[in-house]
Structure 1
Amino acid sequence: MSASNDHPAVWSRLDVSEGLGLGALIAEPDGFRLEATEVVVDRGTRYSCRFTVRADLGWVTRAVRVEILSGDGVRTLALESKGTHWLRDGAPAPELEGCVDVDVASTPLTNTLPIRRLGLRPGESRDIAVAWIDIPDLRVRRVTQRYTRHQSAEGRGRYVYRAPDHGSYELTVDRDGLIVDYEGFAARVT
């Protein structure tokens, strides 16, 4: 795997008036780090989102830090996983018990975590519990998501992502598991 920040991915958001994100997957001795930033302008809403997600060598989320800059100032959120127990800003978050992945709602980058961790073969599906972070308000809740892998097409991995509250979307990924196209949400620029 060429997890490196030498060539960060850039996505254009398709679900808002103006939105652009930049993200990198960085290999570290004890796991992986996802670094990203998003800038969004939509119907009077303007904000930037900056986040870091740390995962172990098995792609299990261990720590998350999110920072939002908007007209309301700067707000931050920190999540940390201690085995099956989660902390939110240092306090126990029992509602997240059993979550393995995190999904920062403003970016396709965090979809890489379950895609890499699950290692699904074409035709396989898996339901997972994730700590879903709504952006820009930083609400966190437990969400069940389903990932189904399909046959690759045109050199890209293909998945369908489904969540009860958000619908079903087709995802295509590169060889590192980074999103190329996320139906109706984001498309890779570079």
Structure 2
Amino acid sequence: MPCGHAIGCYTMFEYMKSVLNRDMYSYKILCPAVIEDKIKTTYTICGKEWDWQLVAAVADLNENEYTQYTDIITNRFMEAKEIKTCPSCLGKCIRGKYLNVFRTKCLGCNSDFCWACEQPWQSEGQQICGNQNCPLWETQKLLETCDLKVSSDVKMPPFRACPACLSVPMYFFAIFILLFFFFAK
């Protein structure tokens, strides 16, 4: 392998399967070789990332196995790197640099879609798409219809949405849980 460590065909196949079956997120195949430092008497893992094409060649995957594992790695990579599919042209899109802007423009077909629900954009704004089954729509309605509290002569909602993802933290529930565990001792 490029890192200088050797691995056989069967071992590579089994190792690759174990990495991909370990959880639903792993997509990198890293060298598992143990490196001994004889001076410090310590051990470390090599951990160099192996190229997928090389892993597939060493593991001697047949066509069906190659397609199956390539699809798994591609899907996990897309989830990890936050790549979404345009609902209009099915092209791959990345999110813009502003995390609180959910309106995403596809460079392939020039259409706009919602990053949160992956549906065509229906409104004029940049944050709420206007699709009623979008989770951000529910957050917007919750904030618009909640009872306001007064603090320093200013009316405000009793909770706020996260500016990056627009989820609403449930502070009161979290405080209740913390108090329960604190006093349960």
What TM-score comes out, normalization by structure 2 length?
Answer: 0.21
- Structure with the higher strand share, 1 or 2: 1
Pair member with larger Rg: 2
